Structure 1
């Protein structure tokens, strides 16, 4: 990693074993994807209940070249559904498990990118730029069904993000991100 690992404990007692476990899990992440630029892990005890059984939130932010950071935030309610007595160890394990799966998927998709020029053609849709916010590096596309899809500047594969205007036609691939559906692999449609 170009940037040293950052570990922070907010409203949670700092623990040597937890820090060692986080360091070991970050080292393991690098075996899944060796182009990680940096990683920041935050352990935050946002809430407490009377019994003191709410586990902390473990948030992992992985910086990667050429794309927006990959962020995993494992919330306490998900742990409580999964474990009878969730603790920090469960939170760390589950958050890093998700990060490992997402990095593996990213690696597979990047390796598959050069295998066929039209491998996304069956998943590609035509849409229009509905809203564009160049200063915030994102916009929204209008789908043929009339829905709205978020897209980030880094999702542009062809065309200039700063020259996009409302109404411009684009091709895109729809994927599911952390917060729901989004547009990726955005290309400006050829003008006739």
Structure 2
């Protein structure tokens, strides 16, 4: 992947396993959009309520021509939150590429009744 990748860990120690997985997922983003300018991934464990337990939040911030796309995932497992965030990022990238190509679904106008 030629896209600059930045990984930030908040409220938890950096994990080589998570960093490797993030690198793999980020490399696959090129399959959906060739022009990703930058990718910033934030993995954090916010301080929350005790009822929900430890939740991990992963935010993927992509810079693409014409805008910025942000997707996130929250889960009790860091790897599951990572998967959810990148799945959402892929959907947003696909939507962005469709809009840039003007490949959106258009509805035909309703035929006018003839009298």
> TM-score range, shorter-chain basis?
0.7 to 0.9
Query: Is the contact made by 1:25 and 1:96 (CA closer than 8 Å) also made in structure 2?
Result: yes
Partners in 1 of 2:15 and 2:26 — Cα distance? Answer: 17
1:14-25 paired onto structure 2 within 5 Å: 14-25=14-25
CA RMSD of aligned residues (A): 2.7
1:170-181 paired onto structure 2 within 5 Å: none
Partners in 2 of 1:12 and 1:121 — Cα distance? Answer: 53
Per the alignment, residue 111 of structure 1 pairs with 101
Scaled by the length of structure 1, the TM-score of the pair is 0.49
| Structure 2 gap segments, 5+ residues each | 110-115
Shift of 1:45: 1.1
Higher strand content, 1 or 2 = 1
Shift of 1:2: 6.6
Shift of 1:109: 2.4
Partners in 1 of 2:52 and 2:15 — Cα distance? Answer: 17
Partners in 2 of 1:54 and 1:89 — Cα distance? Answer: 13
Per the alignment, residue 9 of structure 2 pairs with 9
Query: Is the contact made by 2:25 and 2:86 (CA closer than 8 Å) also made in structure 1?
Result: yes
Shift of 1:48: 4.7
Per the alignment, residue 94 of structure 1 pairs with 84
Query: Is the contact made by 1:41 and 1:60 (CA closer than 8 Å) also made in structure 2?
Result: yes
Count matched residues.
Answer: 108
Larger RCO (CA within 8 A; separation ≥ 6): 2
Q: Which has the larger radius of gyration?
A: 1
Shift of 1:91: 0.3
Shift of 1:56: 1.5
Partners in 1 of 2:26 and 2:37 — Cα distance? Answer: 12
Moved over 3 A (4+): 48-53, 119-122
Partners in 2 of 1:38 and 1:18 — Cα distance? Answer: 19
Partners in 1 of 2:44 and 2:107 — Cα distance? Answer: 39
